[in-house]
Amino acid sequence: MKKFLRTNEFYVAVILILLCVFIGIKSPVFFSLQNVFDLLRSSITMGIFAMGTLIVIISGGFDVSFTAIAVSSMYITIKILFAINYEGSFLVALIISALIGLLMGLINASIIGFFRIPTLIATLGTQSLFHGFLLFFIGSKYINNVPDGMLRFSRSNLITTVTPTGAITGLQSGILILVAVVIVVYLLLRFTMIGRNIFAIGGSREAAERSGINVIRTQFFIYGFVGMLAGIGGIIHGAHYKQGNPFDLVGTELNTIAAVVLGGALVTGGRGTVLGTLLGVALVVVMNNSLILIGVPSEWQKVVLGIILIIGTGIPAYQNMQAAKRVKTNLAE
């Protein structure tokens, strides 16, 4: 328990609760079922992206191309489905988009694995590459409609209630996909050897190689998997907004990375948890969606996010420094 009080998860949870209480007091609408459902709906795509980012950061890497992968997978999928006039299940759209994402992820992996380019540089390059490729070869036109399957998905709810004003609101079923992704990533990191390998590479790449871990194969898994998650997140995002916008998402990757880092993942690799990441996502989503409720102008949301990011990561760092000092004091007295 004492140990838990010193984790990042704890601080993020405290900040999150304080923020919610504060907003709730100022604006009771915050705790209405409709607002909670809205917040959950907004967490779905960022949550899925964050799970991918978490894996990359644990392995000691950085991926900034996932938004470009997401928007490309989404846009290409919508184009394909319109072209073949497919009006069936959303599942098909999901699979196509996931496969396109996987393919792009594997391109990332090849560049990182074979040419040994630092991951941040490689994905900066591919972000531009994928997005430019999309705009030039596939199309740069805004599509203000999505195929029927996606439309039905975005309207489907798990639970529905009627608000006091008479409107119908519900919990969007995409949350199930997020839950599934979270469970898969949790099991992967906690109970599989590939998960061990990811932590090992993030801890010390050289030691991992000497232990006989195939680092390049592991990187293929990581970036392929992350690409796939980006494809899944992208198509859900498209469905939620009922549009195919080729200029969407790209540029928002830092929000996701901030959420993961807030959740306690170490940017130098080797450490990070699913629970912490979920808390980080919740914090960022609440700030992005609810500060407006208490009259904070949207420009200020960025400032607040920055402050919370610095405080949230600064407190544990400061504590470590204090702990290190304490050890030495014992020696001298």
Q: Which residues bind other proteins (CB under 8 A)?
A: 190-196, 199-200, 202-204, 206-208, 210-213, 266, 269-271, 325, 328-329, 331-333
Name, in order, each residue with C-beta under 8 angstroms of 13's C-beta and a sequence gap of 6 or more: 279
Based on CB atoms, which residue is closest to other proteins, 299 or 333? 333
Based on CB atoms, which residue is closest to other proteins, 135 or 194? 194
Least distance to other proteins, CB of residue 320, Å:
10
* Distance from C-alpha of 42 to C-alpha of 233, rounded to nearest angstrom: 11
**Closest to 308 (Cα-Cα) out of 286, 332, 293, 275:** 286
**Closest to 76 (Cα-Cα) out of 60, 59, 52, 99:** 99
With residue 232 as reference, give the H or E element that holds it. Answer: helix 215-241
Based on CB atoms, which residue is closest to other proteins, 150 or 200? 200
Least distance to other proteins, CB of residue 291, Å:
35
Based on CB atoms, which residue is closest to other proteins, 60 or 149? 60
Least distance to other proteins, CB of residue 71, Å:
33
Name, in order, each residue with C-beta under 8 angstroms of 36's C-beta and a sequence gap of 6 or more: none
Least distance to other proteins, CB of residue 185, Å:
15
Rg over alpha carbons for the chain, rounded to the nearest Å, is 21
Based on CB atoms, which residue is closest to other proteins, 110 or 204? 204
Least distance to other proteins, CB of residue 326, Å:
8
* Distance from C-alpha of 100 to C-alpha of 78, rounded to nearest angstrom: 12
